[in-house]
Amino acid sequence: MAGTPAGPPDEPIPLAQRLIDNPFLLLIAGLIVMFVIYTGWGLWEILTLPPATLP
Amino acid sequence: MTAVFRACPVTGRKIDAQAEALIRVNAVVSIVSLLIGAIAAVLLVLTRWQAVHLLPADWFYRLLGVHGMSMLIFFILFFEMAVLIFASTVLLNARQVAPKVGWAAFGLMVVGAVMVEVLMFAGKADVLFTSYPPLKAHPLYYLGIILFAVGALIVVGLFFANLVVAKRERTYEGSVPLVTFGAVTAAIIAVITLLHGAAIYIPAFLWSLGLMNMDAQIYRMVWWGLGHSSQQINVAAMVAIWYMLGGLTVGAVVLNEKVSRVAFVLYILFISMASAHHLLVDPGMGSAWKVVNTSYFMYMAVLASMIHGFTVPAGMELGQRLRGIGTGLFDWLKRAPWGDPGFAALVFSVVLFGFIGGITGVTIGTEQINIIVHNTLRVPGHFHATVVAGTALAFMGATYYLIPLIFRKKVAFWGMARIQPYLFAIGMVIFTMSMTFAGSFGVPRRHWDISFSQAPFDLQFSPAVDLLLALTAIGGLLAATSAFMFIAIAVVSVFFGQPLPDLSGGYPIAGVPLGLTNPPRHAPDVDARNAELHGPKMGWMGPAPGTLALVGVFLAAFIVYFFVNWKVLSFVWKIG
C-alpha cells in the first residue's frame, strides 16, 4: 500500500484529484461549511431571538 | 532526532520505532478506558432492568457520566490517535515527526482523562456526558477535558505534519492510500470537533469559576458541535478500518478509488452538521436551520455512508471472486474466513452499523419524526448500534491484526478470540433492538426509575416494556462479557503474550489471524477472471451480484422502517 499511482509520468494529474489530494484545502473547506452553516447560522438564530413576552 | 526503523516481517513495511511506541501506548490506554466504561455499563444495565434496579439514583447518574466519557471520548479517541499515527507513518513508510511533542501530547491527554475520571468518581462532576448548564461541575473537570482536547489536537497536528514530511521525503508515490485518506477525513473532522470543544469548554471552565454567564441554548448548540462530531471521527476511522480489514482478510479490492474518495470528501463537508439532530425539538432554533442541517446537507453524508456500505462488501466479494472463491450469489460469503476474528468483526460491524445504526439514525433524524423519539431510549438504541456495534467492533477486529503487526505478539486465548466478535454482535443486536423498541413505547433515556415511585403523578408503561428492558440488560451483559473477553485477550497478548513466530511457512498458526499467515492472493488467471466478472455473462447485476442483493434487502428494510415511523407519527396527531 505504497500509495495510489497518479498515472503515467507524462500525464497531467486531473484538477479534481489535485484538490482531493490536498488535505489542507479539505480542512479549510470542512471548517468553512460547518462553521458557517451550523455554528454561525445557529448563533445568529439564538442571538436574534426576540425576548419572550409574559402573558 | 534520527528516526530508527524496523522492517515488518509480514508486510515488509518500514516502521518508525517512535511511531510504533506511540501507537502502543495510545492503544493500551484506550483499552484501559474501555475497561472502566464496560464496568460502568454492567452496573447501568442492571439498574435499568426494572426487576434488579441495582444502583441508587446518585450512583446511576454518576456512572452514566463515567460510561459516556470513558467510552465515547477516552476509549475511542485514544484508539483513533493510534489509528492516525499508524496511517500517517506505517502505511506511508514514513517517520514520526517531532516524537517528543507526540509524547507530550499523549501525556496531556492522559492527565486530562485521569482528572476527569477522578472528579466524576468523587462525585464532583455529576453532570452527565453532556454537562448541560445549569448543571455545574468542579472547574478541574472542565480543565481536564480542555487538557485532553489540546493533547488530541496536537496529535492531529502531528498527523498533518507527518503527511507533509512523507510527501516531501517521497516515501510514497501519487495519492495517499485510501486507508490513509480515510484517516485524513477523521483528522479533519477531529479538528472541527476539537475547535467546538474549545469554543464551549473554555467558557464553561470560566463559568464554573464564576467569571462569566452561560447561555444554555448557545451551550447546547456549540457543545453538540463537539458531542456529535466526535462520533463522526469514529465513522470515518471505522470506514478506513473496514477498507483495511477487507484487504487484509479476504484481499478486498477497491471498486473505484474516485468514488470512495469522493464519499470521504462528502463526510468532510457535511457529516459534522448531524450535530443539529440533538436540537430538533429546541424552540430556540428555526425550522430552516434544522432542516438544512439535518436533511438537505446531511443527506450528502448519508449518501457517503451508503456508498461505503456498498463498496466495502462489494470489494470483498470481488476480491473473493478474483481469488477463485465463489460461484453463486453468496458462495463467496459462505466460504469466507469466518474463523478469523478480524473478518467476523468486519462483517458484523458493517451489517450492524448499516442495518440498525444507519436506518434508525436517518429515520429519527427527520425533523417531524424526531418529536416521537427525542429523549427516549430510541436515541441510545441508535447510537449504540453505530458507535459500539459499528466502531468498537471494527476497532476490536483491527486490534487482532495490530497485536501481531505492531506489538509482535501472538493473540492470546485464540479460541476465545475467534468467538468474541460473535458474542459481541449477538449481544449488541439484542441490546440495541430491545432499547429501540422500549423507546418506541416512550421509555425515557437517562432515567433512573421509570416506575416514578414517590412522584406526585402516576404513569404506567405497557407491560411489554418490562420484558424489553430485561432483554436490553441481557443483551448488554452479553456484549459486556464479550468486551471483557476482548480486554483480557488484548492485555494478556500485549504484556504476557508469546512472541510472533516466523510466518513464512504459509500454514495457519493459532494466535495469528489467517490474513497474516496466509495472505489472500489473487488467482493466477486474475486478469481473465476480472474480464469475465466485468463482462456480459454477469448480467445486469454486474461483478458483485451478492452485495447488490444484500443492498436490495437493506433498502427494503430502510423504506419499511421509515414509513412505519410516519404512520406512528400520525397516531400522535389525530385529526377528527
CB atoms within 10 A of CB B456: 5
Q: Which of B103-112, B327-336, B405-414, B497-506 has the lowest mean pLDDT?
A: B497-506
Interchain pair A30, B192: CB under 8 A: yes
Q: What is the pLDDT of residue B327?
A: 82
Residues with Cβ < 8 Å from B163, sequence gap 6 or more?
Answer: A23, B88, B92, B176, B180, B184
Q: Measured between CB atoms, does A36 come within 8 Å of chain B?
A: no
Contacts of B174 (CB under 8 A, 6+ apart): A3, A4, A5, A6, A7
Per-residue confidence (pLDDT) for residue A3, from 0 to 100: 57
- Say if residue B176 is exposed, middle or buried (CB neighbours under 10 Å; 0-12, 13-18, 19+): buried
Tens digits of per-residue pLDDT, B483-506?
999 999 999 999 999 999 888 878
Grid coordinates given for B295? 436533511
State the pLDDT at residue B549: 97
SS3 for B544? coil
Q: Among residues B71, B93, B74, B239, which one has the least CA distance to residue B162? A: B93
Long-range contacts from B170-174, C-beta under 8 angstroms, 24+ separation: B171/B14, B171/B92, B171/B93, B171/B94, B172/A2, B172/A3, B172/B92, B172/B93, B172/B94, B173/A2, B173/A3, B173/A5, B173/A6, B174/A3, B174/A4, B174/A5, B174/A6, B174/A7
Q: How far is A54 from chain B (nearest CA, A)?
A: 16
Chain B neighbors of A45, CB-CB under 8 A? 284-286, 289
Is the model's pLDDT at B1 over the cut of 70? no
Which pLDDT score, from 0 to 100, does residue B456 have? 86
Q: Which residues of B89-120 are buried (b: 16+ CB within 10 A; e: fewer)?
A: bbbbbbbbbbbeebeebbebbbebbebbbebb
Contact (CB<8Å) B285/A46: yes
Structure confidence by residue, pLDDT tens digits, A1-55? 445 655 566 678 889 999 999 999 999 999 999 999 999 999 999 999 988 888 7
Query: Rounded distance, CA B495 to CA B403, Å?
Result: 11
Residue in B462, B393, B475 with CA at minimum distance from that of residue B434: B475
Cross-chain CB nearest to A46 (options B175, B191, B217): B217
Among B34, B56, B55, B37, which residue's Cα sits nearest to residue B46? B55
Chain centroid to CA B545: how far? 28
What does the alpha-carbon distance between residue B126 and residue B448 come to, in Å, rounded to a whole number?
A: 14
User: What domains does chain B contain, in order, with CATH numbers?
Assistant: 5-572 (1.20.210.10)
Is A37–B175 a contact, with Cβ atoms under 8 angstroms apart?
A: no
CA dist B510 and B414 (Å) reads 6
CA B177, B27, B42, B61 dihedral sign is negative
The pLDDT value given to residue A51: 84
Put simply, the answer to whether A41 touches B172 (Cβ < 8 Å) is no
Residues in Cβ contact with B7 at an 8 Å cutoff, skipping those fewer than 6 apart: B13, B14, B15
Residue with cell 484538490: A19
pLDDT value for B458 = 81
Across residues B236-243, what is the average pLDDT?
Answer: 96
User: What burial letters (b/e) apply to B36-53, b meaning 16+ CB within 10 Å?
Assistant: bbbbbbbbbbbbbbeeee
Residues of B with Cβ-Cβ distance to A23 under 8 angstroms: 160, 163, 184, 187-188
d(CA A16, nearest CA chain B) in Å: 10
> How near does any CA of chain B get to the CA of A32, in Å?
9
**Contact: B188, A43; criterion CB under 8 Å:** no
Per-residue pLDDT at B457: 83
CA-to-CA dists, residue B440 to B433, B437, B474, angstroms: 11, 5, 19
Say whether B289 and A1 touch across the interface (CB within 8 A): no
- Contact between A45 and B276 using a beta-carbon 8 Å cutoff: no
Q: Is B217 on the interface with A (CB under 8 A)?
A: yes
Cβ contact, residue pair A20, B265, below 8 Å = yes
The overall average pLDDT reported for chain B is: 94
How much is the pLDDT for A6?
53
**Three-class SS of B78-132:** HHHHHHHHHHHHHCCCCCCCCHHHHHHHHHHHHHHHHHHHHHHHCCCCCCCCCCC
% of residues, chain B, pLDDT over 70: 99
In DSSP terms, A4 is beta-bridged to B175
**Percentage of chain B with pLDDT > 90?**
87
CA distance B309 to B358: 10
Place of cell 436551520: B289
Q: What is the pLDDT of residues B183-225, one digit of tens each?
A: 999 999 999 999 999 999 999 999 999 999 999 999 999 999 9
In angstroms, the Cα distances linking B314 to B248, B251, B309, B310 are 15, 12, 9, 6
**How many C-alpha atoms does B196 have within 13 Å on its Cβ side?**
31
Nearest residue of A to residue B163, measured between CA atoms:
A23
Q: Which residues of B418-448 are buried (b: 16+ CB within 10 A; e: fewer)?
A: bebbebbbebbbbbbbbbbbbbbbbbebeee
pLDDT tens digits for range B351-400: 999 999 999 999 999 989 999 999 999 999 999 999 999 999 999 999 99
pLDDT digits (tens, 9 = 90+) for B146-184: 999 999 999 999 999 999 999 999 999 899 999 999 999
Residue of B221, B248, B254, B260 best to disrupt the A interface, most CBs of A under 10 A: B221
Question: Cα-flanking dihedrals φ and ψ of residue B341, to 5°?
Answer: -60, -25
Predicted pLDDT at B374:
94
Q: What is the pTM of this model?
A: 0.94
CB atoms within 10 A of CB B137: 22
Do B7 and B18 contact (CB within 8 A), yes or no? no
At residue B238, does pLDDT exceed 90? yes
pLDDT at residue B576 tops 70: no
Which residues of B are less than 8 Å from A2 in CB distance? 93, 172-173, 177
Partner residue opposite A37 with nearest CB, options B175, B177, B293: B293
Q: Which residue has the cell 512523507?
A: B166
